[in-house]
Amino acid sequence: MLMTAWMVTPAELVDITAALVLTGLVGFEREARRKDAGIRTHILVGLASCLFTLISIRGIPALMGSGVTWDASRIASQVVVGIGFLGAGVIFFNNDTVRGLTTASAIWMVAAVGVACGAGMIGAAALVVALYFLAVFAVAPLTSLILRRDQDHLLRLTYEDGKGALRQTLLLADSQGFDARIVSTRDIHRNDWDGAGVDVRVSGKGDLQAFITAVAETDGVRGIDLLDRDD
């Protein structure tokens, strides 16, 4: 029994590897979009969920032996409950704007993917991950196209104090057909300059790339990044 406990069966190796790869893909997408929860968080959630499921389905019944009734869903169900606390930690509310809902949903989903891999349902887990990428990359643009809504984007602007960069950015937004609204601000102190970082939500039908280029060339602007409307 002790020797068996130290061994990893081929089936378990396949399940754990599948959880690593599938949740890593989701985490890489979140990392590439510079979200608060990246590839490491998603992989750890997926692997932990997979291990909990393996323990529930194979580990505990093997230790208890035959003739003992064990509900294998008990540990897996606690994964569903427990992951809510982690997901809630990446949701932020600021100035009537909610951020992090998609990332929190992704964490919840990779927990389910890990559980599915631990249960040997790798095909179903892979299909869910594929549908995740379809939802992230296709659903939002298609919805905007069908509803004919204005573009709505979140920009993260870093600028140096004393050069009027923020004021110039807001003027550029207005001149290029965008409505700009400051979502959040934070002070930045570097060795050679002081400034601020500002998240600005812009909406409208102007040329977004041209606007970003113009802002990047503004005196005092240290950087500008395009974030997701839905993160």
Q: Which residue has the higher pLDDT, 19 or 6?
A: 19
Q: Tell me how crowded residue 194 is: count the other CB atoms within 10 A of its CB.
A: 11
Among 76-80, 146-150, 210-214, the range of highest mean pLDDT: 210-214
Confidence at residue 1, expressed as pLDDT on a 0 to 100 scale: 47
Q: What is the mean pLDDT of residues 87-111?
A: 72
User: Does 123 lie in the same domain as 63?
Assistant: yes
Among 95, 116, 146, the domain boundary falls at 146
User: Does 159 lie in the same domain as 142?
Assistant: no
Q: Tell me how crowded residue 152 is: count the other CB atoms within 10 A of its CB.
A: 13
Q: Which residue has the higher pLDDT, 202 or 98?
A: 202
Q: Which domain holds residue 193?
A: 151-227
User: Does 175 lie in the same domain as 86?
Assistant: no
Among 115, 146, 177, the domain boundary falls at 146
Q: Is 33 exposed, middle or buried (0-12, 13-18, 19+ CB in 10 A)?
A: middle
Among 146, 171, 200, the domain boundary falls at 146
The H-or-E segment that residue 153 falls in is: strand 151-160
User: Does 167 lie in the same domain as 108?
Assistant: no
* pTM over 0.75, yes/no: no
User: Does 166 lie in the same domain as 85?
Assistant: no
Evaluate whether 34 touches 61 at the Cβ level (below 8 Å).
no
Evaluate whether 222 touches 160 at the Cβ level (below 8 Å).
yes
d(CA 101, CA 36): 11
User: Does 177 lie in the same domain as 118?
Assistant: no
Distance of CA 215 to the CA centre of its chain: 27
Nearest to 37 by CA among 103, 94, 105: 103
Give the pLDDT band of residue 50 (cuts 50, 70, 90).
very high
Compute CA distances 58 → 20, 51, 151, 161, 209, whole Å.
Answer: 19, 10, 50, 61, 54
pLDDT digits (tens, 9 = 90+) for 118-164: 999 999 999 999 999 998 888 877 776 676 555 678 888 899 988 88
d(CA 23, CA 46): 6
User: Does 161 lie in the same domain as 134?
Assistant: no
Residues 6 or more apart whose CB falls under 8 angstroms from that of 220 comprise 159, 160, 161, 162, 163, 164, 165, 168, 195
